[in-house]
Chain A
């Protein structure tokens, strides 16, 4: 069997090109503004607008909350451009059950913030700056994600 087809049944070009674009976005942020653009911090920094607890009022959240929201708005706009230009504005939905999205999302948010990074923070920025702790974090979340996804596929399907 063709190896490329068995590893990438849907093709590989769009994955690589998309990844290069994601990296270019993160690189552009650094070159133009000097900032490290992980994504999960926006979920803590945005709470700092409304939650007065000292944890959320830390400088690292309050000082970065504005640009992080702009960055997030860019994400939405970029996806919108893809949707209109490349997907013809067709209906996008997922078959993943609502409870899995919500409960999984909760763990994603809690875990990413406790561990100070997600797939983009530890994955792209952390590995991109060759930080060993980020590599350890990536290996850890990949391991638990593989386990969970396979167990869920077997028991919940």
Chain B
């Protein structure tokens, strides 16, 4: 990985982590209050993020021949199948129980919120077990 790409990736992550924290998404209580219909803020976070990304994903490949520090734009197609359905359902159950998803679990470390290590450890373990049980890529 070139230094420019590494710095770009780090800077993108910094914005992401700062935004998550600024929006208080790293506080499980705030996420849970959304899931309990007490505060709809998460809709604005999601909506705001999706709006910016939608524009960037649409416009960048039209306006630029290639990304600034790579030779092509990547794509990550998603598929709807049994695993996606089961996985999403299980993810939601976990999210509804703890109020922590992967981004905030990682970002939370930067605020010294060590309680979130329990969630981070749980996520890492869950990802390991999923990979050990997987029969197809």
Is B one of A's binding partners? yes
Contact residues of A with B, CB < 8 Å? 7-10, 12, 14-40, 42-44, 46-47, 51, 53, 55-56, 58, 66-67, 70-83, 86-87, 89, 91-96, 98, 100-134, 136-138, 140-150, 152-153
Q: Which of B8, B118, B127 contacts A32 (CB 8 A)?
A: B8
B16 and A149 contact, CB distance less than 8 A: no
Q: Which of A10, A46, A140 contacts B88 (CB 8 A)?
A: A140
> How distant is the Cα of A73 from the Cα of B110 in the complex, in angstroms?
9
> How distant is the Cα of A142 from the Cα of B129 in the complex, in angstroms?
23
A111 and B93 contact, CB distance less than 8 A: yes
A-B contact list, 15 entries, CB within 8 Å = A10-B24, A18-B48, A21-B15, A21-B18, A47-B131, A82-B21, A94-B29, A102-B122, A105-B126, A111-B92, A112-B127, A120-B101, A144-B93, A144-B96, A149-B36
Number of A-B contacts (CB under 8 A): 533
A22 and B54 contact, CB distance less than 8 A: no
Min C-beta distance of A20 to chain B, whole Å: 4
> How distant is the Cα of A36 from the Cα of B9 in the complex, in angstroms?
11
Q: Which residues of B contact A96 (CB under 8 A)?
A: 28-29, 32, 98-99, 115
How many B residues face the partner with a CB closer than 8 A?
Answer: 114
Q: Which residues of B contact A8 (CB under 8 A)?
A: 39-41, 44
A58 and B137 contact, CB distance less than 8 A: yes
CB 8 Å contact bits of B49-65 with A (1 = contact, 0 = none): 11111111100100010
A14 and B56 contact, CB distance less than 8 A: no
> How distant is the Cα of A130 from the Cα of B78 in the complex, in angstroms?
10
> How distant is the Cα of A31 from the Cα of B106 in the complex, in angstroms?
23
* A15-B45 contact in complex given A22-B20, A25-B15, C-beta closer than 8 Å: yes
B126 and A22 contact, CB distance less than 8 A: no
> How distant is the Cα of A143 from the Cα of B8 in the complex, in angstroms?
35
B127 and A47 contact, CB distance less than 8 A: yes
Min C-beta distance of B83 to chain A, whole Å: 5
Q: Which residues of B contact A75 (CB under 8 A)?
A: 13-14, 16-17, 20, 103, 106-107, 110
